[in-house]
Structure 1
Amino acid sequence: MTIARIARCLASVVALAAVFAANPAPAGQESHAALRAEAYEAAQWAIASDAADALARVSARFAQGDDALGRLAEERESLIGRRDRLERELERLYASDDAGALADRARVRTAWEGTVERLRAVDADIEARFPAYSELTSPRALSLAETQALLGPDEGLLLVLVNPEATYVWGLSRDRVEWARAETLGDAAMTEAVKQLRASLTSVGGVRGQAVDPILFAGPQATPFDRATAHRLYTELVRPVEAAFDGKTTLISVVTGALTALPLSVLTTSAPTGSDAAPEALAPTPWLIDRYALATLPSVSSLEALRCHLVADPALRSPGCPPRRGGVARRDRPEGAPLHLVAFGAPLLTGEPRDATRGAPAADDVMRDGRLADVGKLRALPSLPGSKLELETLKTRYPDALVRIGREATERAVRADDADALSRARFVVFSTHGLMAGSAAAEPGLVMTPPDQASEADDGYLSASEAAQLRLDAEFVVLSACNTAASDGRPGGEGLSGLARAFFYAGARSVMVSHWEVSDAATTTLITSAFADLDDNRAGDPGVRARALQAGIRAVRAERRWAHPAYWAAFTLVGEPG
């Protein structure tokens, strides 16, 4: 986070404190409403994230075409990735006592300085030659009126800002605005509540007192899900502003702090009855996902990026979009026939699928020197039979699809051989292991079939920076793997970063990501059911992708053994709900 952004965030906290301290309003209700509207905009500065920046950059690139600007924008992103990798390598070298570290530090420092200098030159070139692009990529806060104009008739938006002393909440629809202050949910209390809930979502293996199904999870018995805490979050964060969503079917959320690590689908809308450990009590529990199809955004301004600039047909822009800015031109569509689906997964791995989850070690564990993966360690990861079934089912559903399974699911195929097909795909699916970012130079990424020998072109690991270089025009990217929602999955870290940010930059309108290790079998049911629902609804219908995820979750929950939310709640739709 830059110093400028930190300053904006601090300013927003001061503004919020001033607004909510003015109660009752000194100049009447109208003045109080104006102050709350100012606070709504101030809150957005505190929520700005790298994922939001990625959406802004790709929307601007899309709006202005793929000529000289496109090349400069791609070079800029590549330089940013290289700068960040070199900074991580420098941190590692400065912490090393190795005798050769001094020489390596000098070499890497020189490379870093050259990269930063080139980045400055590219930024200056873009600013001088394409001022409209710079304007489009400048983060800005939307007013209440601007936000309402961008929402559909069946949509609501929930904005949640977690501050040290309290949490501030806004609920919006086209015709109504509500606000609330959760006094007892400051940052520390929110973090503790989310940690408590995640503890029971990341260690499931069955239901306490019941036999463990060996094809799902192995290991300890499940931790009963704390429905009381989940209901408390609903009553303090959603219910006070829910009047704004009355009659709406889709709810878009923008959250911060620890909430970025918790899917809102696990919030319960009524006080729990019965034992949390009993399947007969869990199964009929009413969840927020029953009430709304859910999607999340990295920022409120992402609505404008998705609905005004990342739209292939200008006629389909939201009626609430601002007028086109000067110098805007449409980019050419990829040549060749469009494809329904391009998918990769079920890599050839030799490990026994003993725990049947799509989890794996942190990326540090499989990276050798921070650049290339250890193909032996990748190959030893557990195989994923459910992933193969998932992709075969999707291939049957879309006969024109390009589906790479097993030996064909390579990094080289993704980045080179099938790059053109990827650029023409409506849906893109990766069904494999996902690795979280490590503490050193390792990036989050997706495991592909390892080659015999690692190279820059193919080391069996599609990292976030490599994914960002793909050219996509996809409505929907599904990362059917574990831990793809955030950089490290920890409450309080920046959410929706890493892989999600990379695929947004590559051109995705929405990305389905997971928050923890997912059951191979349950995920197969969820993904195939979600795509079946997509086919049953018309493309372009409002909320169609959010409803597809909702349908997939219902299909998983239909099986009594999967009543625990660890099986069905891991996935979140980020981006355009449909």
Structure 2
Amino acid sequence: MRAAAALLLLVLGACNAPPPSAFVGGGGAEGEPVGNNTVGEACTQQRHADRSADIYCGSWQQPSGRVRPAGAGGAAEMQALATSGPWRAGLDSRFACGAPRGTTILGDAPALLMECTRRAGGWPYVALVASVGGTAWLADGVLPALPAMERAIGQATGRLRAEGAAAPASGAEALMAERLAARAFGSNDIGTYEALMQAGTRANQAENAAAAETAYRAALGVQERALGKDDPALANTLALLSLQLSNQGRYPAAEEALDRADALARRPGAEEGLTARIAHYRALHLLNLDRNADALVLLDQAAADYARLLPPAMLAARPAPRTLADTFSGGEMLASPQTRSALLGLVEVRRYRSIALRGLDRVPEADEALRSAATLARANRVALPLVSARISRAVAMADAQRGDSAEAATALSQAAAAFARGMPGTRPVARTQLLRADMLSRLDRPIQVIGACRSAIAVLTLLRSGVEAELLEPCLAAYAEEARRDPGASQALLAEMFAAAQLAQSGLTSRQIDQATVRLADGARNPGAGEAIRRYQDAQNALGDLLRERDEIAAGGGGRGSATEALDRRIADARTALAEADDALQAAAPRYGQLVQQATSAADVLAALRPGEAFASVVLTGRSGWTFVLREGRIAAAPVPGGEARIGGLVRRVRASIERTGPGLPRFDTTAAAELYSATLGALGPALEGATALSVAPSGPLLALPFEVLLTGPADPDRLSAAPFLARRFAIAHVPAAANFVGLRRLEGSRATRPWFGFGDFRPPSRAQAARSFPADSCAESATLFANLPPLPSATRELEAARQLLQAGPQDRLLGPAFTADAVRRAALRDYRVLHFATHAVLPSEIACQPEPAILASTPPNAPDAAPALLTASAIVNLDLDADLVILSACNSGGPAGSTAGESLSGLARAFFYAGARSLLVTHWAVDDRMAAYLVAKTLGEMRGGRGPSQALQAAQLSILNDAGRGLPEQAAHPFFWAPFAVIGEGGAVRPVSVADASRL
């Protein structure tokens, strides 16, 4: 249900802000000085022919205030202007204003002052009616602009003739002095806040929760500094932030933000409708947790609260007869922003009710809820493309559930077009096209399927963004079928299929990539990289805005003309700017492609392969999957029968037959290990013939198992020393994605001058520190697990053996209390070719409230919680490494059985690759201390002799396998002993094995 919580946040959360069209002129234009505002920002006015003026302060691009004459200025007229009429109605639509209070301006001019609060953001606002020389003047603006507005009236009426003349005493300023002192913010703060909120809205609608979180968190910080942490205006921003946290699976943090928002929304002065919005957002959080029944209760509550804010006529309106999936037309609603927000909120709540009801298998009620959402929107002339798109997509899913694929395909076509108008070039466009491809595949329209797939893949490739593997399933099947039908074009079609398959990812992978990318964009290590990332994202947004403008012209029936031609030129320039930003990003952050979900071409993979080497990629979906093998200029592909469900079961069987849970070893499941090979690589045996090295990019549950333990044929569980393990055939390296393989292959070897640096003998957090790291009730189990992580006494011995083997100095290590995450970040790690962590790895699959994988360092005794001990994946991207190998000899650093553990490892690996590592050596289960020490030492020794990491590990593994039943007991051939380690990343050159080597192996 994760995708359910993408909201129309612009209209629900920030619609009360005046649109750009409400403002005349623009910030930065030359104007007449009108002094400074209360925080020292210079202000200017732009006068108009009707004697009105817009006032700009600081660098804000919107007016900080406005003044204009309003006819006769007697006491009765002033009172009427302050309490009724168009000006006051306009104020009430955007601000909550108090009763008028009598005061003076410009010395003795009578005035009525109203203290207001902006509904969007909670910023203090001021409105003024004054009588100067018998004429009434209206002024309104942000609170700090009050002296500039007063001076503008003074200059317009001749009360202040000289630019530098001092203004007479102001009763209005005196009346507001206390509030002005308490709210030391300027127009720049408001401008920054609104820009951040717009950025958050854009990122949310583009389904980029991590970027939206960053924007909303920064906006919240601006509000807290200016308004204080207890201001009710923070509730809306907190609620928006909570959804982004929930969409990333950070549920305790989302609940904490929702609780704080709810408390603030109930304080005096809170915006009307906030409680409805928070109930709405909390329901979406519950949908993410698959708690459909609980979500339905809150959605009903939100619907009732929204309905109370709407006129009965709006609720009772009925549209002219139309089909359910029709787009909505008729222009903008003639309603106040509050009414507009409540109406759109109610439409969305009804749509989400249909999702919750469908999840509870209450299909007729779900259809009715969806119908009521569409009816309410059409009846009230809602013309927003995103509303139309989301309802059309929901209608299509309902049609698909009923088996009506043709109607579903039509509705999805409408939804894709509406998304393209509202958010061109974004993930919602791509996802909708992929859903449409699925419907077309059910109608047996392969050419149209491939067309829809190509449209989606082009968007995702440009965004460097992945998508759920299930959505790609019909595309991969269509490419494979066309390749079978047309042998002459098969290699070109398989190349497209391979590129599409690389975009498959889970929600966990997506979140970890987003977190690491956002941390990188902060520019802690390399400000140039952060600037380049933002420039690239800005260029994407600018192109999207222009494409949206062109689509709006086309939708309105606009033909070709000079304006359209000029827009086309701007679009061409924007495409050029995006390409230039991409070049700058590659120059500033050349390993960025290894971090994000980037598809690389089959041609690039084939060009990167060395003689005797093959590359395999396995992509799993719920119902099927595909394996690709690239070797010697050719691509081969074969289906994976049963998909993730079958493969997951086989992986669990193999893992259960390896991991020790009692005093003895379990019996190795040779049948499951052979079935895994047959299902994934077996059908592509001819393409692998003659290869001695294999780089493999697995997915799903396969990420949690080293491929070395697969069996290429039958084996006797009692004679594993003779079993045909894949380790005997290939030196194997695993990579998160093909882009990592190509990117790492292009790197030169390390230029570091020192051989090794080690970290270990960690000190666990206290129970109190662990509890403060995971304070929510739902995280109590995580806190207990964290506090109970055992010490690793053998880790120090392992580090010492490696140090001596590689001839490093005793100073080249951080142990015990000295081994903290901060100490790791400060160390000059770029000087070392091998980095060796002998400690625990903390994975979300094991500690649910830890949202991303981390290496566990020592917790300082005086630390308030355990956070200083966590070296997270998103922090690792800002390390500066030049390492050939990073050893994570952590207990279970590869994780337990299941895809989430393997994906956590994949996220950790991506982060290390970006930081400058070429390969990792990780463990897939709790290891035997003595055997682990031997395998690490043997691998390092083989690398010192010139082998790459994968062949070095193979040599270490085969030295055990080949001696089992001879110098070692037969039991040593059990994978528990020889196969816990796996190489992730660059496997290195494979040195030919001589006769002497073979005899040793």
**What TM-score do you get using the length of structure 2 for normalisation?**
0.42
Contact kept in structure 2, 1:483 and 1:489, CA below 8 Å:
no
| 1:232 corresponds to | 675
- The C-alpha deviation readout for 1:270-299, integer Å capped at 9, x for no partner, is 2113xx3x3xx1222121011111111111
Structure 1 residue 128: Cα displacement: 10
Structure 1 residue 127: Cα displacement: 6.9
C-alpha change, 1:447 and 1:520, in structure 2 (3 Å) is: farther
Contact kept in structure 2, 1:294 and 1:573, CA below 8 Å:
yes
1:387 aligns with 2:847: no
Structure 1 residue 18: Cα displacement: 1.4
Question: Comparing both structures, which one devotes a greater share of its residues to helix?
Answer: 2
Take 2:939 and 2:924, find their aligned partners in 1: how far apart are those partners? 18
C-alpha change, 1:458 and 1:160, in structure 2 (3 Å) is: closer
1:160 aligns with 2:618: yes
| 1:403 corresponds to | 813
Give 1:277-356 correspondences, 5 Å limit. Answer: 278=718, 281-308=719-746, 310-311=747-748, 338-347=753-762
| 2:655 corresponds to | 198
| 1:497 corresponds to | 906
1:171 aligns with 2:586: no
Partner SS state of residue 169, structure 1: strand
Partner SS state of residue 807, structure 2: coil
| 2:711 corresponds to | 268
Partner SS state of residue 554, structure 1: helix
C-alpha change, 1:375 and 1:300, in structure 2 (3 Å) is: closer
Give 1:525-540 correspondences, 5 Å limit. Answer: 525-537=934-946
**Which AA in structure 1 matches 2:528?**
L
Q: Which structure 2 residue ranges, 5 or more long, are not aligned?
A: 1-206, 209-426, 435-456, 458-466, 536-576, 587-591, 989-1001
1:423 aligns with 2:830: yes
Contact kept in structure 2, 1:453 and 1:459, CA below 8 Å:
no
Q: More deviation in 41-50 or 293-302? A: 41-50
Structure 1 residue 193: Cα displacement: 1.2
Structure 1 residue 220: Cα displacement: 4.5
Structure 1 residue 550: Cα displacement: 1.4
| 1:12 corresponds to | 472
**Which AA in structure 2 matches 1:395?**
R
Partner SS state of residue 301, structure 1: helix
**What TM-score do you get using the length of structure 1 for normalisation?**
0.69
Partner SS state of residue 505, structure 1: helix
C-alpha change, 1:134 and 1:404, in structure 2 (3 Å) is: closer
| 1:569 corresponds to | 979
Structure 1 residue 44: Cα displacement: 1.5
Contact kept in structure 1, 2:837 and 2:890, CA below 8 Å:
yes
1:469 aligns with 2:884: no
Structure 1 residue 266: Cα displacement: 0.9
Take 1:485 and 1:189, find their aligned partners in 2: how far apart are those partners? 21
Partner SS state of residue 664, structure 2: coil
Take 2:820 and 2:493, find their aligned partners in 1: how far apart are those partners? 54
Contact kept in structure 2, 1:526 and 1:556, CA below 8 Å:
no
Take 1:456 and 1:283, find their aligned partners in 2: how far apart are those partners? 48
Take 2:602 and 2:851, find their aligned partners in 1: how far apart are those partners? 40
| 2:601 corresponds to | 143
| 1:256 corresponds to | 699
Contact kept in structure 1, 2:765 and 2:859, CA below 8 Å:
no
Take 1:457 and 1:73, find their aligned partners in 2: how far apart are those partners? 33
| 1:69 corresponds to | 528
**Which AA in structure 2 matches 1:429?**
H
Contact kept in structure 2, 1:482 and 1:514, CA below 8 Å:
yes
Q: Tell me how large the CA RMSD over aligned residues is.
A: 4.1
- The C-alpha deviation readout for 1:17-51, integer Å capped at 9, x for no partner, is 213334851x4x21344333322222122258559
Structure 1 residue 246: Cα displacement: 2.5
Q: Which structure 1 residue ranges, 5 or more long, are not aligned?
A: 77-125, 206-218, 314-332, 352-360, 539-543
**Which AA in structure 1 matches 2:583?**
A
Partner SS state of residue 722, structure 2: coil
- The C-alpha deviation readout for 1:459-490, integer Å capped at 9, x for no partner, is 4443333433322111111100123236x752
Structure 1 residue 140: Cα displacement: 4.4
C-alpha change, 1:190 and 1:414, in structure 2 (3 Å) is: same
**Which AA in structure 1 matches 2:840?**
H
User: Share of identical aligned residues, percent?
Assistant: 30
Partner SS state of residue 283, structure 1: helix
1:440 aligns with 2:849: yes
Contact kept in structure 1, 2:832 and 2:883, CA below 8 Å:
yes
Take 2:609 and 2:619, find their aligned partners in 1: how far apart are those partners? 20
Structure 1 residue 380: Cα displacement: 6.2
Contact kept in structure 2, 1:426 and 1:475, CA below 8 Å:
yes
Contact kept in structure 2, 1:509 and 1:576, CA below 8 Å:
yes
Contact kept in structure 1, 2:835 and 2:883, CA below 8 Å:
yes
Take 2:981 and 2:848, find their aligned partners in 1: how far apart are those partners? 24
| 1:34 corresponds to | 492
Contact kept in structure 2, 1:197 and 1:230, CA below 8 Å:
yes
| Higher RCO structure, 1 or 2 (CA under 8 Å, sep 6+) | 1
1:187 aligns with 2:596: no
Take 1:457 and 1:22, find their aligned partners in 2: how far apart are those partners? 55
Partner SS state of residue 485, structure 1: coil
Structure 1 residue 406: Cα displacement: 3.7
Contact kept in structure 2, 1:449 and 1:460, CA below 8 Å:
yes
Contact kept in structure 2, 1:394 and 1:528, CA below 8 Å:
yes
Contact kept in structure 2, 1:364 and 1:442, CA below 8 Å:
no
Take 2:616 and 2:785, find their aligned partners in 1: how far apart are those partners? 42
C-alpha change, 1:132 and 1:535, in structure 2 (3 Å) is: same
Contact kept in structure 2, 1:47 and 1:299, CA below 8 Å:
no
- The C-alpha deviation readout for 1:370-400, integer Å capped at 9, x for no partner, is 99xx999878643323222211111112233
**Which AA in structure 2 matches 1:384?**
L
Take 1:177 and 1:498, find their aligned partners in 2: how far apart are those partners? 27
Take 2:530 and 2:820, find their aligned partners in 1: how far apart are those partners? 26
Contact kept in structure 1, 2:700 and 2:899, CA below 8 Å:
yes
| 1:85 corresponds to | none
C-alpha change, 1:489 and 1:270, in structure 2 (3 Å) is: closer
Structure 1 residue 144: Cα displacement: 2.8
Contact kept in structure 2, 1:512 and 1:573, CA below 8 Å:
yes
Partner SS state of residue 477, structure 1: strand
Counterpart selection for 1:550 from 946, 951, 954: 954
Take 2:771 and 2:729, find their aligned partners in 1: how far apart are those partners? 41
Counterpart selection for 2:684 from 202, 227, 241: 241
